């Protein structure tokens, strides 16, 4: 995915969107921008960046959706990106999305934004849920206390969005508000005043950072900010901060950072008491979400329910997607026939006809027929995410992972890896410990991403039609089990140490909106189509060329260059039951992108009238097919994932280790499946 320039566009004012995870920030972003949005990466990092356009009364606003975060402490990459964008890019306004039913938690981020001097408009979202829980919020009083506009919204129903846009448009024309000044107590305030005066003496530093905010961050022991000041040569400021922290610790007897956080929460509690009335009895405070969680996250029922949910996802995907595959396959067969007939009628050379029909249409078509199940899978996962269940899945798996010595928070990047291993690897940046990050990065490629799905669908369609969902479910489950086992091995022998506790907020259950679900499905599924138009086309063309060289050999024969390569490698895979040169070549090219495995087989076998599925059924057995799918699941990550591992570990050594161990593990598992299956009479 290409990086998107971070510079503020000239064509409109920039509005930043920031909020806690599960606050409805994404829904508001979709309401504001609709289809006028695009996704890239933040420059220099691999964290996703979302931008969109909003037009209002002749003005164009560029909406930048910052990563969801609980604070601006810069402990994780997401927090650092959000903080730096507001601090250095200086957006004309910041829409702070706040969950009305969880004000205490959400307003902590609000106070940090106001302390930075950001031009904030609070979108008080999910006011319907607050009302349902008998939480009454005096919005004018809250706005007065915060000193910024507060607009009630229900993003899932598009309520309050027009008012929000009007308020933001007005806000960008006004003078930026003065930073919020939280009273941190006499002792801390005295030291803040001293630091602030020293910072103001450095004109360059005072222009770059709000002086009081910088003084607070230094007392909070912000290591990243201290490192930046070291580079800028602000030695006097750093020495003064060290002296202040030491003196405060001696006077107060505890860490200054903890006292500052307590004071912020003290202010928030006062705001909430002033503006919020709760009319709930103790029994009424047990929400519907609490009652569902008593079953869904139950110690004994949670894991079986999670596995049942995953099984249901695969049943939905393949029961509904199977007939759609047939429709797309028929369309490509017809297209191949039309292209062949048209080219022959024009008297085109046989080589050109083969290139277009067998190479481009046949190879690409053998991959694109799997668009229906991929989109259906993303649809099902989006429904689970938007409903709030996926957060429960992480909570449930936390217990199992802790029992094995792994960090419970690691399950979130692993869960993302089911969509694509690259963002899953990137998501490890939320883990504080380098050891936890390395373990999670190393096992993430064992999560079966959707790129492997075309391989599964092809082979299960040929051999396991009646049990297709069950067989594919078993492969996903195998990836999870292997990831847990390898994580335990790495933890025991390579990364010894205690595991940090994992605390995760469980958002209330919500009914997913059609618009939000479809946008999420398209965002993920469209990447498969883009890859098909670039990487996969390039790969199948290269394979076709190698299948026809040297000139004069039979197409895709063992005498061709690609046939010779496959013949050399085929004996390595013979113990696993798929020792054909075509299989060997498919695995080699699958390193470019896992979807290319199917495209390669499509080119090598040729897409005849009975299709690639029939060709596979004639050349393989059910046991060798399952062993091949196991190999595809485990062996070397794709090039994009290898690149992500290199960037995130900053080590060629760990990258080589990830490649080597996964290749060996894939081969061993494939051989075990085939050989044990033969012993059991399944050959």
Q: Is 126 annotated as a binding residue?
A: yes
Provide the sign of the torsion angle of the four alpha carbons 608, 609, 613, 617, taken in this order.
negative
Q: Is 65 annotated as a binding residue?
A: yes
In SS3 terms, 238-298 reads as HHHHHHHHHHHHHHHCCCHHHHHHHHHHHHHHHHHHHHEEECCCCCCCCCHHHHHHHHHCC
Q: Is 629 annotated as a binding residue?
A: no
Q: Is 67 annotated as a binding residue?
A: yes
Q: Is 621 annotated as a binding residue?
A: no
Q: Is 147 annotated as a binding residue?
A: no
Q: Is 120 annotated as a binding residue?
A: no
What crossing angle do the helices spanning 389-403 and 371-387 adopt, rounded to 10°? 90
Q: Is 106 annotated as a binding residue?
A: no
Residue pointed to by tokens 């990487």: 535
How far is the C-alpha of 654 from the C-alpha of 644, rounded, in Å?
12
Q: Is 465 annotated as a binding residue?
A: no
Tokens of 148: 């910024």
Helical segments of 116-208, H only: 127-132, 139-146, 161-171, 186-201, 203-208
| Nearest CA among 578, 549, 603, 555 for reference residue 675 | 578
Neighbours of 111 (CB within 10 A): 20
- The shares of helix, strand and coil residues in the chain, as percent rounded to the nearest 5, are 65, 10, 25
| Nearest CA among 419, 444, 642 for reference residue 523 | 419
Residue 135 in 3-state DSSP? strand
Tokens of 203: 């004109």
End-to-end CA distance of the chain: 43
| Nearest CA among 612, 631, 636 for reference residue 364 | 612
How far is the C-alpha of 600 from the C-alpha of 581, rounded, in Å?
12
Q: Is 33 annotated as a binding residue?
A: yes
Q: Is 51 annotated as a binding residue?
A: no
Q: Is 125 annotated as a binding residue?
A: yes
Burial of 495 (0-12, 13-18, 19+ CB in 10 A): middle
DSSP letters, 623-635, are HHHHHHHHHHHHS
Q: Is 23 annotated as a binding residue?
A: yes
Q: Is 48 annotated as a binding residue?
A: yes
Q: Is 24 annotated as a binding residue?
A: yes
Q: Is 20 annotated as a binding residue?
A: yes
Q: Is 298 annotated as a binding residue?
A: no
Residue 49 in 3-state DSSP? strand
Q: Is 46 annotated as a binding residue?
A: yes
Neighbours of 678 (CB within 10 A): 13
Contact 505, 391 (CB under 8 A): yes
| Nearest CA among 50, 71, 63, 23 for reference residue 430 | 71
Q: Is 269 annotated as a binding residue?
A: no
Beta bridge partners of 121: 95
Q: Is 660 annotated as a binding residue?
A: no
| Residue 62, φ and ψ in degrees, nearest 5 | -100, 110
| Residue 679, φ and ψ in degrees, nearest 5 | -60, -30
Tokens of 485: 């086992």
| Residue 239, φ and ψ in degrees, nearest 5 | -65, -40
How far is the C-alpha of 79 from the C-alpha of 66, rounded, in Å?
9
Pairing of strands 13-19, 93-99: parallel
Q: Is 22 annotated as a binding residue?
A: yes
How far is the C-alpha of 76 from the C-alpha of 84, rounded, in Å?
12
How far is the C-alpha of 190 from the C-alpha of 194, rounded, in Å?
7
Q: Is 45 annotated as a binding residue?
A: yes
Neighbours of 376 (CB within 10 A): 20
Contact 634, 446 (CB under 8 A): yes
Q: Is 94 annotated as a binding residue?
A: no
How far is the C-alpha of 316 from the C-alpha of 311, rounded, in Å?
9
Binding residues: 19-26, 30, 33-34, 44-48, 65-68, 125-128, 154-156
Binding residues for GTP: 19-26, 44-48, 65-68, 125-128, 154-156
Binding residues for Mg(2+): 30, 33-34
């Amino acid at each position: 995915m290409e990086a998107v320039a971070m510079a503020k566009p000239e064509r409109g004012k920039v509005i930043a969107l920031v909020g806690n995870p599960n606050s409805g920030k994404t829904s508001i972003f979709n309401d504001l921008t609709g289809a006028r949005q695009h996704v890239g990466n933040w420059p220099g990092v691999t964290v996703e960046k979302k931008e969109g356009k909003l037009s209002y009364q002749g003005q164009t606003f560029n909406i930048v959706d910052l990563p969801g975060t609980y604070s601006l402490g810069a402990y994780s990459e997401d927090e650092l990106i959000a903080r730096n964008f507001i601090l250095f890019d200086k957006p004309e306004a910041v829409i702070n999305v706040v969950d009305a039913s969880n004000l205490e938690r959400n307003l902590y981020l609000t106070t940090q934004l106001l302390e930075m001097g950001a031009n904030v408009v609070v979108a008080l979202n999910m006011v319907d849920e607050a009302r349902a829980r008998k939480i009454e919020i005096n919005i004018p009083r809250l706005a007065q206390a915060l000193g910024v506009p507060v607009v009630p919204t229900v993003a899932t129903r598009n309520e309050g969005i027009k008012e929000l846009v009007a308020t933001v448009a007005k806000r960008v024309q006004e003078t930026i508000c003065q930073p919020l000044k939280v009273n941190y107590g006499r002792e801390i305030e005295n030291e803040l005043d001293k630091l602030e005066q020293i910072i103001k003496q450095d004109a360059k530093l005072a222009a770059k950072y709000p002086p009081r905010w910088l003084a607070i961050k230094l007392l909070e022991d912000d290591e990243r900010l201290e490192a930046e000041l070291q580079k800028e040569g602000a030695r006097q400021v750093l020495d003064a901060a060290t002296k202040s922290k030491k003196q405060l610790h001696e006077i107060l007897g505890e860490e200054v950072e903890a006292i500052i956080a307590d004071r912020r929460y003290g202010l928030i509690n006062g705001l909430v008491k002033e503006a919020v009335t709760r009319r709930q009895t103790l029994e009424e405070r047990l929400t519907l979400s609490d009652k569902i969680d008593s079953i869904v996250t139950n110690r004994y029922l949670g894991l079986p329910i999670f596995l049942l949910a995953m099984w249901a996802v695969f049943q939905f995907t393949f029961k509904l997607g199977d007939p759609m595959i047939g429709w797309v396959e028929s369309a490509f067969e017809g297209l191949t026939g039309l292209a062949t007939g048209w080219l022959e009628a024009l008297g085109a050379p046989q080589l050109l006809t083969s290139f277009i029909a067998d190479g481009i249409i046949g190879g690409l078509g053998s991959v694109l027929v799997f668009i229906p199940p991929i989109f259906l899978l993303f649809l099902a996962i989006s429904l689970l995410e938007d409903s709030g269940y996926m957060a429960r899945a992480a909570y449930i798996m936390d217990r199992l992972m802790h029992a094995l010595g792994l960090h419970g928070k690691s399950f979130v990047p692993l869960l993302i890896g089911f969509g694509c291993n690259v963002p899953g690897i990137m998501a490890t940046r939320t883990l504080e410990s380098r050891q936890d990050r390395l373990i999670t990065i190393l096992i993430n490629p064992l999560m079966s991403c959707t790129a492997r799905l075309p391989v599964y669908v092809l082979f299960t369609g040929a051999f396991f039609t009646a049990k297709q969902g069950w067989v594919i479910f078993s492969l996903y489950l195998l990836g999870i089990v292997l990831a847990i086992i390898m994580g335990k091995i790495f933890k025991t022998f390579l990364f010894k140490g205690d595991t940090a506790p994992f605390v995760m907020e469980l958002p209330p259950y919500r009914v997913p909106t059609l618009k939000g679900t479809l946008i999420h499905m398209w965002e993920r599924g469209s990447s498969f189509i883009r890859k098909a138009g670039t990487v996969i086309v390039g790969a199948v063309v290269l394979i076709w060329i190698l299948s026809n060289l040297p000139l004069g050999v039979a197409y895709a024969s063992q005498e061709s260059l690609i046939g010779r390569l496959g013949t050399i490698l085929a004996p390595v895979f013979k113990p696993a039951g798929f020792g054909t040169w075509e299989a060997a070549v498919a695995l080699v090219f699958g390193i470019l992108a896992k979807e290319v495995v199917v495209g390669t087989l499509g080119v090598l076998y040729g897409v005849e009238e009975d299709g690639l599925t029939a060709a596979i059924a004639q050349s393989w057995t059910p046991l060798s097919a399952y062993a091949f799918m196991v190999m595809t699941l485990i062996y070397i990550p794709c090039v994009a994932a290898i690149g992500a591992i290199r960037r995130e570990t900053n080590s060629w050594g760990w990258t080589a280790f990830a490649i080597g161990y996964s290749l060996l593990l894939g081969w061993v598992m494939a051989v075990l499946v085939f050989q044990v299956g033969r012993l059991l009479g399944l050959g």
